[in-house]
Each structure stands twice: as C-alpha cells, then as structure tokens.
Amino acid sequence: GGTAMAAVRDVEIDPEGTFKYILVRLQRPGGEEQRDIVRGTKAAEFHNHIFEKVNPEMQKLGYECKCLGGGKIDHNSKDKKIRVFGLSTGYGKADHSVTVEILKKVYTDYEITWSDDKK
C-alpha cells in the first residue's frame, strides 16, 4: 500500500556544503504508483555512487529505481539557501525544477533556486 512508499523520505542530502545529487524515480513493479526522491552527499565522488547505495535500499522495499539525472546541490544552512545546478556526466542533467519542488516540501523556510550553470 501507500504506507511503505510514504516511509521513504523525499530528500536525503548533506546538511551543509556543495555535493553531487541525483533525482530518482521509484516505482512499484507493474504498479502505477510512483514518486521522485532526491539524494545527495559529499561522500559520493561520482553520481553513480549515490545510485548504487539507494538502489538496493529501495529494492528491499519493493521498488524499481530509475535515475532521472543528476547535478549538484549547494546547501547553505546558515543562510537557509539551496542552489541546484550542474549535471551528471553519466546520467545527464536532472530536471532541476522538479528537484527544487521536492526540496521545497522539506526545506519549507528556505530560498531554493536552480540554474543550468556548471559551477
């Protein structure tokens, strides 16, 4: 049912700094139910490192994962600002506008912007 998918957090990103992120679509095999989540961390040297961590976690919960693209997130918790930019060489550019909408659900009091800038 909807509860397991609801238990998956919309956003898991580092609390501070600039790091790679990916936009991931979760889907129940054969089901209509789907949602997009944002994952990003400084620990990941490459975008696929993030996917390789998320994918098995989600498969355990019974979801198929598809990476919709990536980029970078600049998270300034002091000024409550998040900037989404850049792209993933391997996965292509995520739709940053979608990422921003997901981030806004969690970081409700932040100023969140995006651009297609590389830096």
- State the binding site for substrate: 20
- Other Cβ atoms less than 10 A from the Cβ of 82: the count is 23
How many whole angstroms separate alpha carbon 34 and alpha carbon 99? 15
> Which of 47, 49, 75, 96 is the catalytic position?
47
| Strand 64-76 versus strand 34-41 pairing type | unpaired
How many whole angstroms separate alpha carbon 90 and alpha carbon 113? 23
Residue 47 is among the residues annotated as catalytic for this protein: yes
Please give the annotated binding residues, written as ranges: 20
Active-site annotation, residues:
47
